[in-house]
Structure 1
Amino acid sequence: MTDDVDDAPRTPASVLLVGLDGFGRQHLANLERLAARGRAELIAGASLTDPGPEVRGDIPVHATLGEAREAGHRPDVVIISTPINTHSDLAREAMDMGADVLLEKPPTATLAQHRELLAHAEAAGRRVQVGFQSIGSHALAAIEQLLAAPQAPGGIGELRAVSATGLWLRRQAYYDRAPWAGRRVLDGVEVVDGVVTNPLAHAVRTALHVAGARRAADVDDVAVELHHAHRIEADDTSIVRLRTASGLPVTAALTLCAPEDQEQDPWVTVHGTEGQAVLYYTRDELVITPNREAPQNAGDAGQPRTAVHGRTDLLENLLDVREGAAAALLSPLADADAFMQVLEAVRTADEPATIAEEHLVQVDSGSERHPVIPHVADYLARATKAPSTFSSLGAPWAAPPATDGELRLGEQTLATLRTGEDISPTDSPRPFLDRVRTRGGVVVTDQQPLDHTWHLGVSAALQDVDGTNFWGGRTYTRDAGRYIWREDHGRIRAAEQRLEHDVAALGGGSRLEQRLEWLDHRGTALLAEERAVAVVGLDDRAEGVDAWALDLSFALTPAVERTVMLGSPGSNGRVGGGYGGFFWRLPAVEDATICTAEAEGEEAVHGSVTDWLMYSGRFGSEHGGGEATLVLASTDADPWFVRCSGYPGVGMSLAWDAPVAAEPGLEVARRVRVAVVDGRLDRDQAAALGERLIEEPANLPAEERA
């Protein structure tokens, strides 16, 4: 409602409400408030179901809007709070009565209907306000002011992305309340009643508003991923990804299948280069969290701050525009055009994929029954931060992501070859090994984790190749002395590859050979890479150890006729931050043991140069896992990069504290072998395994091994 109350005498606008039950009751309460202020008078209703005089008072109620018109009603404003499939016809009928319209969301069930309704409103000279109540929030103006001053103290910098998250729960009763609930089509008529287009449509519309997307021309490349766990036609767990015409990514990750104790107010996140702002739009609460490390946010300015803003009621705004007290509608029909592009993408997409019972937890029964998707909050969080999709994140109930095959030992799959084509541009897309696992099935990799969404299983990447970031995320620069967001992300793609299985020289394992191109953010090739990856069987000489070995080597040469400098945050001035080259992102780990022959513990091992390193613990406990050990071995003189306390990961640092020059015609080559072991090893066992990995080259054809 409006904060400023104007008690000047006015002639109340006459209002007719179509749809008195359901959400119509909210309109009745609001009309009672406005009537007390002399702003509006409810003269009649039209509804197939009459909530009774205790709810609607003593106004006449007609079965249809047409009957109300025949009865002589000529309202100033018609409020339409009816099923989606009725909106278009009723809105036109209301305008033909000479009324302005407050039309509940979504405005129509199809994009074509929306365009027809826009044309009808223009021809009739009538105003149509769409009931996206969140657009009346004064927090939106606060966000605009925040983005207008990106360098102000306590600010969040330049806008780089917008996302919306909805984590709701709906029971069977929600879908039993009406024949159209949860339907895509009813009796041949479009309905489109899914999570994106109805219950959490406000989240999508608000995100589009913040991103500056109002009209069709403001939106490009809308893609949707639709699922349902409820036994309905429409979607209840979905992701929407699009880019605005200016290239700004907008992502919405929404579900109606949250655990009961996790249902939250939905929120829109404004991702800035120097922080973020989160709007909980149902309560108009804005939480601003600047990056403390930004120069303008030093000291207390880096602390989160919260403000609760007011809201302008959309009906009241419509009345103000009619009376000349306001210049424009806050949520006009024309501004819903971008949202309707999303709705149309949902409507015309393939039917939502059913989430199988094996991936659900069914809670309660009868009308209280509701399915819960385990870990859905984590998937939504990762999806909006990356941004990404359920498929790319590897949700077990989603379609498989883009792959180039599998690495096997005999008939057992031990890793998946991801193309990386589905990775966000700011996470520097590249091929990687996903779901690497022990022979006993313990998964020992993670990809697109919430703390660093650009960490991708097992891969090779560098943060600075002649100024291009092939690692993902923010870039550490010497000039800034910190990490900053830049439009400098490259991508690595496979130009050629050959994959063999059941290779006798590998003990029945797989061998992958790839030729890769490292392309900068303009698409120019900077490096050419030759990569070889092998899965190697380890025989019974490793007594008592159930293990296999991953052998990975890569060689980099310039793809241009000049020297190309290979760098890292460490080479650009960040002490101890020399990551880059080979990197293995681990899943969550408990009770970790990290050691080499000379040292033990994260701090002591990090930055050391030794022939082997052991990383052991219980992996993946949050989503189910087990105990496993990695023994990494290499004769290259690169320091080990080790993380455990902040996040779990291990790698070899190609440019620890100084850049490496890649000269034309000369290779910068590295090789690492990793034993993947079920259970824990002690230091002596790890040492024996590490020595064996160094002594026995594994990924060469048998005739080349001597």
Structure 2
Amino acid sequence: MTQPHTVTTAVGHARLPRIALVGVHGFGERHLENLARLGADRTLELVAVADPHPPEEGTLGPDVAAFASLDELLAAGTAPDVVIVSTPIQTHAPLALAALKAGSNVYLEKPPVASMAQYQEVMAAAASEGRLVQVGFQSLGSEALPAIETLVESGEIGEVRGISATGQWLRSKAYFKRSRWAGKRSINGTDVVDGVATNALAHAVATGLWLAGARTVADVESVDTDLYRANDTESDDTSVVRVRMAGGTVLTCALTLCAPVQSAPWVTIHGTLGQLTLFYTEDRLEVTSPRGVRTETYGRIDLLENLLAARSEQDLLSPLSGAGAYVSVLEAIRTADAPREIPSEFIMWEGTGDDAHAVVHGIESLIRRATLGQATFAELGAPWTLSGGPTLDIDGTPVATLEDGSRIRPTSSPRPYLHPVRTLAGTVVTDHVPEDHVWHLGAGVALQDVDGINFWGGRTYTRDAGAYVWRKDHGQIVVEAAEHADGERREQLSWLGPDGSPVLREQREWRWAAVGNSTWKLTLDFILESATGRPVLLGSPGSNGRPQGGYGGFFWRLPKVGDATIWTPGSRGEDAVHGSVAPWLAWSGTFDAGPAGASHVTGDPGLGHPATLVFLAAPQAPDPWFVRHSGYPGVGLSLAWDAPVATEPGRPVKRTVTVLIADGFLATQDIEQLITTLGESA
């Protein structure tokens, strides 16, 4: 327990700190409860409150004066040692400035201010008056935070790869009607900046920033905002905010007030050997490491007690000076475009009247994917976002979208790919950034070992370790030039190492055309050539000693498929087909992702959407098929099944892959007839 802080008066008598509370309703009621507790302990004395709507009779003690405003309170000569500001967001800065000018220290509820300009003004006033300002991010009083620092420094979870903050709450219509400023970005030109990241789940952002070591404005390099709203408000209620720190650490906050059920929010530090997950409202820490999983629960220091005991700003657990990084995030949200409305077909309302709350279809999975992949909702291709690059069209109907991959996180080896790919009827037959392997990206070309550089993403399998390990070996593939025409696209690509130097040059060509009313054909040609002036080895986990792990080259990640059937002309089933050499491979089933519309995120597959994919082998080499179904759905042609392939200057490696994308179920006879009709050879 923090010892009571006494104040010495001019005549030398010690007295308890005198506290004034501005704002007694809403969260102010929590402050009244805490003040009553501390008053009973003789830690402080509540001398006055200010609110245009006074508390109910009997709420305050007989010696507590009540005023309609802070100005009246200060004019009465009450002279509080600490003023607690628990009022609407837009009033925080002016009230804090008035209290500081009167010589009081300030406890300022979150968010501390509504703009960066206000933050700088209050900071300057606190310095000028020699007063302290504590910000009400209660989670920063958790004793779990220093414990987490110690655990990270110990190396128990390895090197930090990133930090994520997750919040899934539900708020009813009544929540957004509780006051005139609720859900507002501004009122009559005055900034409010209420929203999921700036108010309701602000602690998730603040705690994540603290764990990332970000305190000041200078600690933040950039902020990406992806803001949406399901409710009839101005502010966002479902958003991703991605913060890149000056030191390179990335914090991804995926937050919603439109979850199907409310759950305790958490912040996770992702390491190369494990992770630390703090459920900050419970001060509960879950540690996952090579030693196993354990849970630890910590105490919490009350921020008002901490302020009373502080002799300088360095003693504060949540000083205003340490909120600069948070205000940088708030400022990015304040200056961003207004949140996009989520169309009604992607929302389900539960309850009635003011108790009704919105649920965004599929939001739980989207939030998990966002935090794991450090991706925004738009980058994930959520159907209520504006996303995607150029499209592949057949008779005016988009059948695939080209993504350049530039926003993919570095450890997923950013690269261009196709997603979503659709049948002519609209059924989606690819997936990207899935929860199980966030580095799987639609349909494209990827290799895990190019002269020791990982162009696949995720962990790298090494012969020395005999296992997958996290290494700082990820490259990226960038588009240098592209020509897009009807039915054809040519690209010049550079495969760049971690230091940005070219390793490979690639010529890639996509061709697409209809084959009847229910099938279309996609052909990919890619040519890989050394960009180093010397031979470059193209390898895989299989070529590095992992049995049956020869993936790399062409790869197609499928979405969830029900009742899947996988076969070649001579084999059937995952085990039999995997590693085999055959002229074609077929995959059919009910694709539960459904059409790229509302049903894509309802979570109700219904009867499913039947489709068949037929992959034709490359004519250049007898590459084995790589097939996964039991762990995740994916198909590839292995460029280096159990031995590396060399590409040399003047002697490139070339492959051609053709895929038939059909609505409905095709039998072997249908497939053979299609191939014969098309004149394809494999």
Does residue 582 of structure 1 match 2:554? yes
Q: Which residue of 1 aligns with 2:663?
A: 678
> What's the offset of the Cα at 1:250?
1.0
Instruction: Name the CA shift for 1:565/1:692 in 2 (closer, same or farther; >3 Å).
Output: farther
Q: Which residue is 2:482 aligned to?
A: 497
Q: Is the 8 A contact 1:211 1:250 kept in 2?
A: yes
Within a 5 Å distance, the mapping from 1:161-310 to structure 2 comes to: 161-259=162-260, 262-290=261-289, 297=290, 301=291, 303-310=292-299
Aligned to 2:580: 608
One-letter amino acid matched to 1:352: P
TM-score by length of structure 1 reads 0.90
Query: Alignment partner of 1:98: what SS?
Result: coil
Question: Could you list the runs of 5+ residues in structure 1 that have no partner in the other structure?
Answer: 291-296, 502-509, 541-545, 699-706
Matched residue of 1:531: which SS?
Answer: strand
SS at match of 1:433: strand
Q: How many residue pairs end up in the alignment?
A: 661
Which position in structure 1 is the counterpart of 2:368?
A: 381
Q: Confirm or deny that 1:535 pairs with 2:518.
A: no
* Residue matched to 2:102: 97
Residues 631 and 690, structure 1, Cα contact 8 Å, conserved in 2: no
1:208 alignment partner, SS class: helix
Question: Residue 302 of structure 2 aligns with which residue?
Answer: 313
Contact 1:280/1:286, CA 8 A, preserved across alignment = yes
AA partner of residue 568 (structure 1): S
Matches of 1:522 and 1:561, distance apart in 2:
17
Cα distance in 2 for residues equivalent to 1:240 and 1:210: 16
Q: Decide whether the 8 Å contact of 1:25 with 1:55 is kept in 2.
A: no
Which piece of structure 1 moves more, 359-368 or 179-188? 359-368
Shift in CA distance, 5/87, structure 1 to aligned 2, threshold 3 Å: closer
Aligned to 1:348: 335
Aligned 8 A contact 1:287 1:304 in 2: yes
- Which residue in 2 is equivalent to 1:543? none
SS in structure 2 at match of 1:48: coil
C-alpha distance in 2 between matches for 1:355 and 1:566: 44
Question: Is 1:471 paired with 2:456?
Answer: yes
1:677/1:133 CA distance change after superposition, 3 Å: same
SS at match of 1:400: coil
- Once the two structures are superposed, what CA deviation does each residue of 1:124-166 show, in whole Å capped at 9, x if it has no partner? 111110000000111111210110111xxxx211111111111
Q: What is the CA distance between 1:115 and its match in structure 2?
A: 0.8
Q: Deviations for 1:638-683, whole angstroms, at most 9, x for unmatched residues?
A: 1111111111101011111111111111111111111112122334
Question: Which residue does 1:117 correspond to in 2?
Answer: 122
1:233-267 Cα shifts (integer Å, max 9, x gaps):
111111111211111111111111112xx211111
Counterparts in 2 of 1:601-680, with a 5 A limit? 601-621=573-593, 622=603, 624=605, 625-634=608-617, 635=619, 636-680=621-665
Query: Which residue in 2 is equivalent to 1:701?
Result: none
Within 2, Cα distance between the matches of 1:539 and 1:178?
59
Give deviations 1:445-473, integer Å, cap 9, x for gaps.
01111111111110011111112211111
Pairwise CA distance, 1:440: 2.1
Any conservation in 2 of the 1:536–1:551 contact (CA below 8 Å)? no
Looking at structure 2, the residues matched to 48 and 441 of structure 1 have their Cα atoms a distance apart, in angstroms, of 58
Kindly provide the amino acid, as one letter, of the partner of residue 102 in structure 1.
Y
- Distance (whole Å) between structure 1 residues aligned to residue 186 and residue 391 of structure 2: 40
Please, which moves more after superposition, 661-670 or 594-603? 594-603
The answer for the alignment partner of 1:130 in structure 2 is 135
CA distance in 1, matches of 2:642, 2:324: 52
Shift of 1:85: 0.9
Report the Cα distance in structure 1 between the residues aligned to 2:196 and 2:440, rounded to whole angstroms: 30
- Once residues 666 and 188 of structure 2 are traced to their aligned partners in structure 1, the CA distance between those partners, rounded to angstroms, is 64
Structure 1 residue aligned with 2:10: none
Counterpart CA distance in 2 for 1:482 and 1:82 is: 55
Counterpart secondary structure, 1:557: strand
Aligned pair partner of 1:445 in 430, 434, 448: 430
Partner residue of 1:12 out of 10, 16, 19:
16
SS in 2 for 1:247: coil
Provide the secondary structure at the position in 1 that maps to 2:641: coil
In structure 2, the residue matched to 1:505 is: none
Compute the TM-score of the two structures, normalised by the length of structure 2.
Answer: 0.94
Residue 280 of structure 1, CA deviation? 0.8
| Residue among 477, 483, 494 paired with 1:517 | 494
What's the secondary structure of 1:118's corresponding residue? helix
Aligned to 1:29: 33
1:284 maps to a residue whose letter is D
Give the match for residue 339 of structure 1. Answer: 326
SS at match of 1:55: coil
> What SS class does the counterpart of residue 198 from structure 1 fall into?
helix
Whether the 8 Å contact between 2:439 and 2:456 is mirrored in structure 1 is yes
State the distance in 1 between where 2:2 and 2:387 align.
55
C-alpha displacement of 1:563: 0.6
Computed over aligned residues only, the root mean square deviation of the Cα atoms, in angstroms, reads 1.9
